[in-house]
């Protein structure tokens, strides 16, 4: 039977627990065994075509907005970096209301891909959209980077935009986009907008440097402040309906009001108290959920509900495992047609024979090997899958050599050079930086002078669990 998808938008990256509970009750009642978390912060319900009308009606009766996937005009849900707030670093002026107030003014879906992102955090990529609003150092003002063509570098809007006018600006850009049928000339767009609307703005004197984001580990059970946060990911971004339903029950029992969804297709739960940690560990055990540095599974930026993408992803992961390839910091993604995924290694699938399921592959990489550069170049084309694996291995090797830490010289002439030591947690291998950990309240404090009460910010391990190791041994 033909399968279709219903998409339920989160509210700026979070679902109210009570609302999600109602959604799962309907899903379980009609026999939906699994749900997907989309990389645009949505819940996706797969179901037979003949149930689409019934399920849509039931959801709407509960006041839940639902979008049918085949409506191409309303294709893209607006994403934000709200899920990262409090658990990753952020600008001081940004809080929950910053995101929600902007989101309330906007249409939830757009013909364009739109992101409202704080570039300080590392959870949500800053340039994965066509319209990228990136927080500036000025309260309530945002840079706008426009990325309509993957072959061109991002276009920076000439002024900073006030939060209150973002929705209005987007509406006019959409009108321009539709009028020219997707062909956007950046300078003409600025002129068009300035003749259509008045909005608050600030000038800036120099072009900002795009933030360099590290790939986060978002499937952990880790401590922040006096509480814990839990990140859950599943293969194919597919979660069983009983799992999600149980998750909402557990949150409700512990007065946790929201569950967050990330652009990596994962779930994030905040504000878990120490006293409840055991019940969460039991939950993870009941559903055989592994948390930790599962980088082979977490490296992919693509739609999780496309079977062909998942098929090749599984084959690549097996290849990485078999060859013990280290992939930390590397992101990959598959796409058809026009490039709509912007990882470090973008792989285009070119079907040769649908009947025989034969494909060729093309590899595209950013021109300067930076994830936040939307200017890509063709690396190789007309590859078989065997050739694809070899080429990807070469790219990963080149990337790691470029970004590796140079080994220190032990002897220079007759002078011995002391190798730098760092402090590493022996439980989870987190490093205590020599400059301190400002986000944890330890600024510029030598490790030896930390209080005995200090504990690892990731696993909660005691200070005594740290040991000295040479920098040269990192990553070996």
DSSP 412-429: ETTEEPPPPEEEEETTT-
pLDDT tens-digit map of 341-350: 778 899 999 9
| Of the listed ranges 43-52, 115-124, 418-427, the one predicted with least confidence | 418-427
Q: What is the per-residue burial (b if ≥16 Cβ within 10 Å, else e) of 351-368?
A: eeeeeeeebbbbbbbbee
Q: Is a pLDDT exceeding 60 seen at residue 276?
A: yes
- Which structure tokens are listed for 472? 């040269």
Question: Strand (E) positions, 306-398?
Answer: 332-335, 345-353, 358-366, 376-383
| Of the listed ranges 4-18, 74-88, 93-107, 210-224, the one predicted with least confidence | 210-224
Report the 10 Å Cβ neighbour count for 184. 17
CB-CB contact of 237 with 265 (8 Å): yes
Instruction: Select the more confidently predicted residue: 388 or 417.
Output: 388
Question: pLDDT above 70 covers what percent of the chain?
Answer: 79
Instruction: Select the more confidently predicted residue: 16 or 236.
Output: 16
* Phi, psi of 177, deg, nearest 5: -60, -45
Reduce the DSSP state of residue 75 to 3 states and report it: coil
Angle at 97 between CA 138 and CA 252, to 5 degrees: 150
**CATH of segment(s) 411-473:** 2.20.28.10
Mean pLDDT of 90-114: 93
CB-CB contact of 100 with 11 (8 Å): yes
Q: In this structure, what DSSP letter does residue 86 have?
A: T
Which residue ranges make up each domain of the chain? 3-75+215-293, 298-403, 411-473
Mean pLDDT of 68-72: 57
Query: What is the predicted pLDDT for the residue at 414?
Result: 42
For the ranges 60-69, 215-224, 289-298, 412-421, the maximum mean pLDDT occurs at: 60-69
Q: Is a pLDDT exceeding 70 seen at residue 196?
A: yes
pLDDT tens-digit map of 403-447: 554 434 443 344 334 456 677 776 655 666 554 444 444 344 677
Q: Is a pLDDT exceeding 50 seen at residue 41?
A: yes
Query: What is the predicted pLDDT for the residue at 88?
Result: 87
Query: What is the predicted pLDDT for the residue at 31?
Result: 94
- Which structure tokens are listed for 313? 């992803």
H or E, element range at 26: helix 17-29
Query: What is the predicted pLDDT for the residue at 184?
Result: 67
pLDDT tens-digit map of 443-471: 446 777 677 667 776 566 677 777 776 65
CB-CB contact of 365 with 379 (8 Å): yes
Burial of 23 (0-12, 13-18, 19+ CB in 10 A): buried
**CATH of segment(s) 3-75+215-293:** 3.90.480.10
Average pLDDT, the chain: 82
Angle at 41 between CA 39 and CA 42, to 5 degrees: 100
């Amino acid at each position: 039977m033909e399968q279709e998808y219903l998409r339920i938008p989160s509210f700026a990256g979070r679902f109210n627990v009570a609302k999600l509970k109602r959604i799962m009750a309907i899903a379980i009642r009609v026999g939906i065994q699994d749900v997907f978390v989309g990389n645009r912060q949505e819940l996706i319900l797969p179901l037979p075509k003949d149930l689409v009308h019934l399920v849509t009606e039931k959801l709407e009766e509960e006041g839940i907005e639902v979008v049918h996937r085949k409506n191409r005009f309303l294709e893209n849900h607006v994403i934000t970096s709200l899920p990262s707030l409090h658990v990753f670093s952020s600008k001081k002026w940004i809080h929950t209301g910053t995101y929600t107030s902007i989101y309330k003014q906007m249409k939830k879906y757009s013909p364009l891909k739109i992101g409202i992102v704080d570039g300080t955090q590392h959870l949500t990529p800053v340039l994965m959209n066509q319209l990228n609003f990136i927080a500036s150092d000025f309260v309530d003002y945002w840079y706008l980077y426009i990325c309509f063509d993957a072959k061109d570098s991002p276009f920076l809007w000439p002024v900073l935009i006030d939060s209150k006018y973002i929705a209005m600006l987007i509406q006019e850009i959409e009108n321009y986009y539709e009028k020219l049928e997707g062909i956007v000339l950046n300078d003409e767009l600025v002129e068009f907008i300035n003749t259509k609307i008045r909005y608050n703005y600030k000038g800036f004197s120099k072009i900002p440097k795009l933030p360099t984001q590290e790939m986060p580990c978002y499937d952990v059970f880790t401590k922040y402040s006096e509480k814990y946060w839990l990140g859950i990911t599943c293969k194919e971004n597919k979660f069983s309906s009983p799992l999600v339903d149980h998750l909402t029950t557990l949150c409700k029992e512990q007065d946790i009001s929201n569950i967050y969804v990330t652009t990596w297709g994962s779930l994030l739960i905040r504000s878990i108290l120490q006293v409840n940690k055991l019940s969460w560990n039991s939950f993870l055990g009941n559903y055989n959920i592994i948390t930790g540095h599962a980088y082979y599974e977490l490296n992919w930026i693509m739609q999780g509900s496309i079977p062909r993408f998942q098929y090749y992803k599984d084959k690549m992961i097996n290849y990485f495992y078999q060859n013990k390839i280290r992939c930390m910091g590397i992101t990959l993604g598959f796409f058809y047609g026009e490039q709509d995924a912007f990882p470090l290694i973008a792989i285009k699938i070119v079907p040769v024979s649908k009947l025989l399921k034969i494909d060729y592959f093309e590899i595209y990489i950013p021109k300067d090997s930076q994830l936040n550069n939307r200017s890509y170049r063709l690396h190789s084309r007309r590859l078989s899958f065997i050739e694809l694996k070899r080429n990807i291995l070469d790219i990963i090797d080149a990337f790691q050599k470029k970004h590796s830490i140079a080994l220190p010289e032990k002897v220079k002439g007759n002078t011995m050079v002391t190798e730098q030591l760092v402090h590493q947690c022996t439980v989870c291998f987190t490093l205590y930086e020599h400059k301190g950990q400002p986000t944890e309240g330890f600024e510029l404090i030598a490790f030896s002078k930390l209080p005995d009460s200090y504990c690892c910010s990731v696993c909660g391990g005691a200070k005594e669990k740290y040991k000295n190791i040479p920098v040269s041994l990192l990553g070996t």
